[in-house]
Amino acid sequence: MDRDVAEPRVDELPGERARRQVARNRAVAAPSTHVYDFVWDPLAPATGPFCTDVDGNVLLDFTCHVAAAPLGYNHPDLLERLEAFDLVDPLKMAGQDFYAGPGGATGRDLPGPTELLERLVDLTAGYGLDTGFLSNSGAEAVENAIKACYAARPGAKYGVAFTGAFHGRTLGALSLNRSKAVHRRGYPELAGVVELPFCEDRRCSADTCSCGFFPGEGPSLLRDRLSGPRANVDPDEVAYVIVEPMQGEGGYRLPSEAFAAEVADVCETHGIPLIADEIQTGLGRSGSWWASDHYPFEPDVITAAKGLRVGATMAAESTFPAEPGRLSSTWGGGDLLSSFVGAATIDVIADRDLLVNAERRGTQLVAKLKALDDPAVVDVRGLGLLVGLEFDTRERRNVVLRAAFERGLLLLPCGVKTLRVLPPLDVTERELDLGVGLLAEAMAEAGVEAV
C-alpha cells in the first residue's frame, strides 16, 4: 500500500467475514465497550492511518487504537527495529518481581524494560521524576501511583479527583472515575475520594468560572476544603490530587490556565502529591511529550501507558516505598517485546520530530473542522492531535459516528456528545483532508448542513 496515494475504499461495512467474526466473538466474550463491527486484518496492507479489514475494505483510522498506536500502522522505522528482534519464548518474564530485563546487556540494540525506564526518566526529568515502575496497563499504573502516594503520606486517607475523570477500570482506579455512572455503579470503592468540579471553560478566569470550582467568592473549592474557616479536610490527610491534563472519556475537555494554576498552587502549598494521568494524553500526542507541559502543572507522579505498550508510573525515588514487596508485579517490566516497542516508539517520535508535526497538524485539523461551519457543532477543541468535535445532541453525534464508519472513517465517541479525532502523530495534510471530507459527508447525511 502506497501511503502517498492511498484512500479509503468501502464496499460494505461490516462485510460478511467481519459479521461472522463479530458473531463468534460475542458468543464467547463478556459484554464490553463495542463501538464498531470492524475487524482489522493484520496480514493485509496497512500503513500510517490506512488499514484493511477482513473483507478488503480500506479504512482511514483516526482512532490510533484509542491513542495506543501513536505511529499508526506499520511505521517503517518501527518495522526496521522489529526485524532485529528474533522472537523467543518466553516473551514474558518475571521482570519486575525477580529479574532485570536483558536489554542492552545482550550486546545488541534491543532495548528492554531498563532502557525503556531510562528513556522515561529522561522525558520526565524536567519534573524531577527519576524513578519508574512498569506494569501491564494504564489502570495498573494509576493503582501504583495512588499506592505510592499513600505510602509517602503516612496516615493519609483522602484523595481528590474531578468530575468527568476517567482513570481506569480496576477497583482502585475505578473509584476515581467520575465520567459515567456505569463504570462504578454497584462496585465497592475506595473510601475518602473527594470529588471537585473540573473546568468547563478553557478560557475562564477565577472571576468568570462557570463550573463552580471558583465559586465567585473566596478561594477555590479545592483550597476552601483544605484551609480557611470552612475547611473540612485536613491537608495532611490528603494522599494525592489526580487530574487529567485533558479529560479523555469525560469529553476531551481542556482546563483553563486559572484552574491548572490553582490546582498546582494548592498542591505545592500543602505538599500534596499531584498525579498527572497522561495515559491518553502523553507520549507526544499533545505536541509535547506530556500534556502537562502546556500547563502550570508540576506533577509529582506521571502515569503513562497506551503507546508505551506497557503501564508506567513515574515519580521521584522518594515517592516510592523503599520496603521490598510494597509494589510488585510478576509481569510488570517483563514483557520483552512490549518494552522494546515502547522504547522504539519513543525513539521514532524523537528522531522524526513528530512533536512538531503533532502540533502543526493539530492546528490544521482544528481549523479545517471549524471551517465546516456546521450549526450542529457546539465546539471544536484540541491540544496537538487530541481533537474533540462536540455536537448539539448525543443522538446526532452517534449518527455522524455511524455514517463516518460506513464511509471508511474510524472515529471514537467520548463524553456525552463529542467525537474524538486521533490521527497518527505523523499524519499528513492530505490525510487530514481525506478525513475531514468524509466527516463532512457524514454530517450532511445526519441531516446537518455542512458548508
pLDDT tens digit sequence for 317-329: 999 999 888 998 8
Give CA–CA dist 446/393, Å, rounded. 12
Quote the pLDDT of residue 203: 95
Residue 158 φ then ψ, to 5°:
-125, 155
Give CA–CA dist 31/202, Å, rounded. 35
Question: Counting Cβ atoms within 10 Å, is residue 131 exposed (0-12), middle (13-18) or buried (19+)?
Answer: middle
- Please state, rounded to an integer, the average pLDDT across all residues of the chain: 93
Residue appearing with cell numbers 488499514: 51
Residues β-bridged to residue 413: 419
pLDDT tens digit sequence for 225-234: 999 788 999 9
CB count within 10 Å of CB 47 equals: 18
Architecture of domain 128-328: 3-Layer(aba) Sandwich (3.40)
Quote the pLDDT of residue 408: 97
Q: How many CA atoms are closer than 13 Å to the CA of 249, on its beta-carbon side?
A: 21
Nearest CA to 183 out of 160, 198, 167, 194 is that of: 167
Give CA–CA dist 409/10, Å, rounded. 10
pLDDT tens digit sequence for 367-421: 999 999 999 999 999 999 999 999 999 999 999 999 999 999 999 999 999 999 9
- For the chain, 451 residues long, give each residue's pLDDT as a single digit of tens: 999 999 999 999 999 999 999 998 889 888 777 788 899 999 999 999 999 999 999 999 999 999 999 999 999 999 999 888 787 778 888 877 877 778 878 777 788 899 999 999 999 999 999 999 999 999 999 999 999 999 999 999 999 999 999 999 999 999 999 988 888 888 888 999 999 999 999 999 999 999 999 998 778 999 999 997 889 999 999 999 999 999 999 999 999 999 999 999 999 999 999 999 999 999 999 999 999 999 999 999 999 999 999 999 999 999 999 988 899 888 888 788 999 999 999 999 999 999 999 999 999 999 999 999 999 999 999 999 999 999 999 999 999 999 999 999 999 999 999 999 999 999 999 999 999 999 999 999 887 544 3
